[in-house]
Structure 1
């Protein structure tokens, strides 16, 4: 998952559409020449990355032979361990293709007692399936799920650190839709968690999803380093560290070095064994550039193992998931790109007249891109362990490699991307309004706003009140350790409500008073350092968007009672096509509504 500042740009730089073209003859000359090496190292230096990148390039020639190049650049760890072709990365949403191909294997399995197809309705096979929209509940098919057209936005903050697939499925019915069923494309990790449940539902021996993929995809294709198990990855001594920058003054230098911080791996709170966990289907694969090269060969080779030529994945499965089902972007951001369609875990578009099929991945500390040009028989993967700008780095480097491999005059994507990041940062600063000099108080006291609130999809949050003039006595507060675990996050000059909520992507939600019943919202993650004198640092998870909380009240006998609060401003992760919720009350307008407990 990426921060809001870069999400808009990545949406288009990782986009896709289709076009007929004549296959290009690719030379056998290496793409990773000294000139290209110098370019990559210069980009890493210019962006002040604490990490590095690992790269795979494959080219299939007219005689059926392959050229395969893999290489690492920069740092794999905070202590300066060199990045290599064997460095292991969490590939995040590039895991989704393994998931939907596993679904395709189930569809192709003629021995199943309960046969399924791409048009099978989810309600007919998954008992726990239910959405708030009754039409989407009854009519959603596997194709609808894989192509993100259920009407449900991301809602990534609904799942937490103690969840499993069934606990998440049981709460989907409480999530607000942001569009009509099959109306627009809206990316959703929860739907790929659902797909990962199918092997257990359909097969008599009920295999864990991760075991099923290992047996039917990883092993027969020779993806020897690829795994869902953090324990296995660690034992190899090749697991890269995600790295971030702490304390960057972005007003002074948006691309500053700050203090490099090593990060815990993104699934540290989940079981690390080979059975996987609820995040496996949406983003749990760990892999290397070397294995990515093999995977690209498989995809370009109609599902065949490039060494044995054994057909492991039916060609029609690869074709179906790469065929557009929804329109992700109806226009192109740059002249060299086209509009974008989405199939199953695959974007499709054209770049300078060449058709490309790809997908990106973004999780805490890791950004990945796996792209292939089917008519040109070219595949490229770029993996980064830069939490802040890894998505930018892999796009800049990817396009340079593409231009080089296809023999095209290079476009200066580095300048374009930097300019766009700067533009977005300035636009956010322009749209951010300072707190009034004399803000009006809320309708009840700040202290009264503290306490528990609940949303049946998101769970319970229990706010404590923090303010410089606060004098508190009584039992310890859940916020007593926040000064240690969230250094620099709390401005005590502004009335603040803080709650722990232990979500997959954040540990706290903070509401700072703006005016009257409106609060600004930040989702924060307390992250460990390797420094005993400063054991924690604070990351703002939803940076780049202006999210607000609006409290609402009702009369109860002779006093004003708190009804709850609504979150707005994009926290539910809806598509830009969805617009915003309208309504007379805060609850009507809310993307997520928490009622007072």
Structure 2
């Protein structure tokens, strides 16, 4: 969920279309041939990935039989453990399809005393649920929530590692006391700025799928945790024996892949350099919850393998039927409903082979070279996934990567090559296209970046005065310490006194800097470096563990690829200039491409996120 390259990636992470295709176009030969094996291995080497990929290809033939191919390539871990069909990945936002299908099972459940439909208003289920836009609060339906059209942008930095669903979206009365002891800052969503009118545009939002994940607990009399409900009604009936919401279960299997990243790459010399490979020992999705799950389960908590992905794809392509037992698990109308476009994700063809894209529920829909497809991508720390299916061709493909930096590009290149091979089409050089796009975006950002003035003007108050606590009711509190020309750890004020160790190489002491710890799901620190007058450049950083005892941490910039700024504002009170707060702008709220920017005469008016001085 972060950065310009990820934003680009999301555009390519799927969709679907309605063109009818004849399954006989499918090759009858194995797709994962030695030639394809060599292609995938060459791509991994060319992109210098420290990790690998695991892939699944399923085809249904004209006689009704299936072919399922699964294989791993490259490294699953830093110690050289090889990737296999059984390697486990956090599939991130590909978890959303399990979530919305679980919602469909509830809608299809005629035994519920409290019946719901796709058009049921959320406010009728959870009266406390509220957004800042009163129209969206009162009118949002399950369909609006699933198709990302509430008007609320991502705001992914508002939730932290210790949050739960009730602390984010609020369900006190609906839960009838269950987990009431965990409720704090009930319904923080109502404090987040919208970036569009209700039902105006598509804007991807993880918080809405967190909301959907609590429906089993709200609607069913025995109040099952969401993760338990999905396990009982989807995982187990389909035979997805390795798929889980529990990282403890995944670790115990011995098949959990390590997310891998590159540290210290000089991108001006080589964008695709090796750098120092880092195993990400504690990815941010390792949250408490066990098999009961946690607040991120509905939006991105599933852990699965290519082998199970093959079974999942077969079931989706065959109307929700278990491919081994032929038992009906998911009603076909639920699968069709979530694949039916409700919002336009991109209204034009990004490449000649693609059509415009629409979004239903956790499914993009568009065409590729005249073949209709549904798909979705997933991106979280250390893992990138892509699951695609061509319903008329009865073809399904999944590609999972553990490359944190370029896994999204790798799975696109490999996905399209597998699609071309399976459909018997001349292959398109997506490898060159992806490299060109990475290069274009990197240099476009460089052109948009401006060096700090040689004689920057100081802020309206002293830098020291800008330190201290600030609060946004949706995002919480940040407590800045001021760093400038400090030469040793002992010079740094608390709570920044361990920053040399936990954020190696991140702090330039020659530039006045404000640094704060914040325990967010995607980052551990926010850093403001002075640019000019009351304007600061913003970096959201994550201190990540290494497996190197002499250097226990390394630093990653979470929103790399975007230019985010903080502007401080002041007011007069009894002839004294006081700090009002600061506003963040530059895309940190994750608004949709058509949303535009906030306008106004003050920093607070223009802010995507406003923190007031405490």
TM-score, L = length of structure 2: 0.95
- Asked whether the equivalents of residues 119 and 142 of structure 1 are also in contact (C-alpha less than 8 Å), the reply is yes
- 1:356 to partner: Cα distance: 0.7
- 1:7 to partner: Cα distance: 2.0
Structure 1 ranges of 4+ moved more than 4 A: 469-476
Q: Secondary structure at the match of 2:222?
A: coil
- Check 1:310–1:142 CA distance in 2 against 1; reply closer, same or farther (3 A cut): same
- 1:559 to partner: Cα distance: 1.0
Distance 1:142 1:13 in 2: 23
**Aligned match of 2:330:** 313
- 1:47 to partner: Cα distance: 0.2
- Asked whether the equivalents of residues 2 and 560 of structure 2 are also in contact (C-alpha less than 8 Å), the reply is no
- Asked whether the equivalents of residues 57 and 378 of structure 1 are also in contact (C-alpha less than 8 Å), the reply is yes
Q: Secondary structure at the match of 1:281?
A: helix
- 1:472 to partner: Cα distance: 11
- 1:270 to partner: Cα distance: 1.8
Distance 2:421 2:81 in 1: 28
Tell me which of 466, 469, 475 is aligned to 1:458: 475
- 1:576 to partner: Cα distance: 1.1
- Check 1:30–1:518 CA distance in 2 against 1; reply closer, same or farther (3 A cut): same
- Asked whether the equivalents of residues 525 and 539 of structure 1 are also in contact (C-alpha less than 8 Å), the reply is yes
- Asked whether the equivalents of residues 483 and 492 of structure 2 are also in contact (C-alpha less than 8 Å), the reply is no
- Asked whether the equivalents of residues 530 and 536 of structure 2 are also in contact (C-alpha less than 8 Å), the reply is yes
- Check 1:9–1:164 CA distance in 2 against 1; reply closer, same or farther (3 A cut): closer
Distance 2:157 2:213 in 1: 19
- Asked whether the equivalents of residues 19 and 349 of structure 1 are also in contact (C-alpha less than 8 Å), the reply is no
Distance 2:379 2:339 in 1: 20
- 1:530 to partner: Cα distance: 0.7
Deviation readout 1:120-163 (Å, 9 max, x if unpaired): 00000123310000000000000000000000000000000110
- 1:470 to partner: Cα distance: 9.2
- Check 1:10–1:142 CA distance in 2 against 1; reply closer, same or farther (3 A cut): closer
**Aligned match of 1:488:** 505
Tell me which of 575, 582, 585 is aligned to 2:592: 575
Distance 2:492 2:525 in 1: 21
Does residue 271 in structure 1 map to residue 301 in structure 2? no
Distance 1:449 1:344 in 2: 44
- Asked whether the equivalents of residues 583 and 589 of structure 1 are also in contact (C-alpha less than 8 Å), the reply is yes
Q: Secondary structure at the match of 1:575?
A: coil
Q: Secondary structure at the match of 1:274?
A: helix
Distance 2:290 2:538 in 1: 36
- 1:14 to partner: Cα distance: 3.1
Mapping for residues 222-261 of structure 1, pairs under 5 Å: 222-261=239-278
- 1:18 to partner: Cα distance: 3.7
- 1:307 to partner: Cα distance: 0.7
- 1:28 to partner: Cα distance: 2.6
- 1:25 to partner: Cα distance: 3.3
- 1:475 to partner: Cα distance: 10
- Asked whether the equivalents of residues 164 and 277 of structure 1 are also in contact (C-alpha less than 8 Å), the reply is yes
Distance 1:338 1:474 in 2: 58
Distance 1:400 1:469 in 2: 52
Deviation readout 1:32-59 (Å, 9 max, x if unpaired): 1111000000000000000000000000
- 1:492 to partner: Cα distance: 0.4
- 1:266 to partner: Cα distance: 3.0
Number of aligned residue pairs: 597
Distance 1:22 1:298 in 2: 19
Q: Secondary structure at the match of 1:578?
A: coil
- Check 1:319–1:268 CA distance in 2 against 1; reply closer, same or farther (3 A cut): closer
- Check 1:259–1:439 CA distance in 2 against 1; reply closer, same or farther (3 A cut): same
- Asked whether the equivalents of residues 75 and 83 of structure 1 are also in contact (C-alpha less than 8 Å), the reply is yes
- 1:24 to partner: Cα distance: 3.8
- Asked whether the equivalents of residues 153 and 187 of structure 1 are also in contact (C-alpha less than 8 Å), the reply is yes
- 1:172 to partner: Cα distance: 0.5
Structure 2 unmatched ranges of 5 or more: 169-185
- Asked whether the equivalents of residues 358 and 371 of structure 1 are also in contact (C-alpha less than 8 Å), the reply is yes
Q: Secondary structure at the match of 1:248?
A: coil
- Check 1:475–1:362 CA distance in 2 against 1; reply closer, same or farther (3 A cut): closer
Distance 2:451 2:5 in 1: 19
- Asked whether the equivalents of residues 122 and 142 of structure 2 are also in contact (C-alpha less than 8 Å), the reply is yes
**Aligned match of 1:506:** 523
- 1:20 to partner: Cα distance: 3.7
Distance 1:34 1:236 in 2: 29
- Asked whether the equivalents of residues 376 and 387 of structure 2 are also in contact (C-alpha less than 8 Å), the reply is yes
Distance 1:211 1:111 in 2: 19
- 1:329 to partner: Cα distance: 0.4
Q: Secondary structure at the match of 2:54?
A: strand
Deviation readout 1:45-88 (Å, 9 max, x if unpaired): 00000000000000000111001100000000011100000000
Distance 1:9 1:200 in 2: 34
- Asked whether the equivalents of residues 54 and 399 of structure 2 are also in contact (C-alpha less than 8 Å), the reply is yes
Cα RMSD (Å): 1.5
Deviation readout 1:372-425 (Å, 9 max, x if unpaired): 000000000000000000000000000000000000000000001000100000
- Asked whether the equivalents of residues 9 and 420 of structure 1 are also in contact (C-alpha less than 8 Å), the reply is no
TM-score, L = length of structure 1: 0.98
- 1:2 to partner: Cα distance: 4.2
Deviation readout 1:212-259 (Å, 9 max, x if unpaired): 000000000000000001111011000000000000000110000000
The worse-fitting range, judged by mean Cα deviation, of 16-25 and 261-270 is 16-25
Distance 1:470 1:123 in 2: 55
- Check 1:271–1:511 CA distance in 2 against 1; reply closer, same or farther (3 A cut): same
- Asked whether the equivalents of residues 242 and 265 of structure 1 are also in contact (C-alpha less than 8 Å), the reply is no
Structure 1 unmatched ranges of 5 or more: none
Distance 2:418 2:219 in 1: 42
- Check 1:492–1:15 CA distance in 2 against 1; reply closer, same or farther (3 A cut): farther
**Aligned match of 1:537:** 554
- Asked whether the equivalents of residues 55 and 306 of structure 2 are also in contact (C-alpha less than 8 Å), the reply is yes
**Aligned match of 1:401:** 418
Distance 1:289 1:426 in 2: 35
